[in-house]
Homo-oligomer: A and B are copies of this chain.
Amino acid sequence: MKSVLLIGTGGVGTIAGLSLTLGGQANVTAVVRSAYDRVICEGYKISSPDHGNHSGWRPYRVVRTIDEAVNSETPVVYDYVVVSLKALPDVYCIEEMITPAVKLSHTTIVLIQNGIGIEEPLKKAYPYNVVLSGVSMIGCQNVGAVVSQFEKDRLIVGAFLPESAPEATNQSAHAIAKEFTEIYGTQFAEYTENITFYRWRKLVYNATINPICALTLLDTGRCHLSGLSKNLTFPAMQEVIAIAAAHNHIFPDDIADSMLSSDDGLYYRPSMMLDVVYNRPFELEAILGNTIKAAQSKGISCPTLSLLYTLLKGVLWRVKETQGMVQAPEEGVKWAAYS
């Protein structure tokens, strides 16, 4: 049996924990914070078209902290640390957070998160460990240990390989990526040699529809109805497609149309919009900030994405203020001192 530590038990993480458990090849220890008592007492209530309906499901072990996950009576060595937390580099540092659970040259780190450029800091912090990168295409949510999955579970997994890595290391990383998809279940998880392609592909949706819904507080259907899809989302997607092309990721010609029509008939509220509605920090840097940096590195212009980013930096500041993470001074100060 493989020993898996799961950090981040939102919708995506909990379904991953369930799938890894049901495959029969892994013992999953889950770090659960706010819903800890409920999960211990009642377990999860899960409805999933792929993994079945469960009432009272619990992972192999449930802990409150990563320290607790490591320091049990018989210390655990984790084969995999699966991170499915939101990517919020300005709120917490994942590479520091997971340190107690990562055994040198042994533990594989699996990032199931949104955005691009998220793997590098992990590879830098753990150069002798394998880092896998996973793009989840699932649609699901976890509200107080009640998990509803409403789109098919499809997880694409590949090894993250820095250019400087020796070939032998790469071969081993690819093998571990394949192994992870087998533990997860090959009917749900798929191995790829080029995970960055899929990261960029998902960005065509996530770097455009997510920010636009978050800023306007319109769901996807209302974006169409109010004309935004045509006048704003579609042009913004063209910018993402051009930046991806500059990084050698070429998509089919109809990608923008197919991404837009993927929400046909739905009034869907994407995650970044929900974060704004509920005053939670959102994944601005991983999704938009890093995309714009990738554009700049190739000299590609992306005025629409840049403006969305700047506006959302302001919104994120507002969210952080409500969380006590930034403060506004008393009235009467000259603002020039702050700019």
Contacts and interface: CB of A to CB of B under 8 A. Distances in A.
Interface residues of A, number: 46
Contacts of A169: none
Interface in A300-339: 303-304, 307, 310-311, 313-315, 317-318, 321, 326, 328-329, 331-336, 338-339
A264 interface: yes
A226 interface: yes
A1 interface: no
B261 A336 contact: yes
A147 B303 CA distance: 42
A242 B225 CA distance: 33
Nearest to A266: B331
Contacts of A310: 228, 231-232
Contacts of A311: 212, 215-216, 228, 232, 311
B218 A318 contact: yes
A332 B265 CA distance: 4
B217 A315 contact: yes
A313 B228 contact: yes
A167 to B, nearest CB: 44
A333 B228 contact: no
Contacts of A222: 314, 317-318, 321, 328
A334 B228 contact: no
A221 B328 CA distance: 8
Contact of A261 (B260, B313, B335): B335
Nearest to A232: B310
B224 A338 contact: yes
Contacts of A313: 226-228, 231
Contacts of A339: 224, 227, 229-230
Contact of A225 (B303, B334, B338): B338
Contacts of A227: 313-314, 317, 339
Contacts of A303: 303, 307
Nearest to A260: B335
A334 B217 contact: no
A153 B226 CA distance: 38
A203 interface: no
A215 B218 contact: no
Contacts of A315: 216-218
A338 B230 CA distance: 10
Given A224-B335, A265-B334, 17 more contacts: A212-B314, A216-B314, A218-B317, A218-B318, A221-B331, A224-B338, A224-B339, A225-B317, A228-B313, A232-B314, A261-B335, A263-B335, A264-B333, A265-B331, A265-B333, A267-B331, A303-B303
5 contacts: A225-B326, A226-B313, A226-B318, A231-B310, A265-B335
Which 8 residue pairs are nearest across A and B when measured between Cβ atoms? Answer: A226-B317, A224-B335, A216-B314, A265-B332, A228-B314, A226-B314, A230-B339, A232-B310
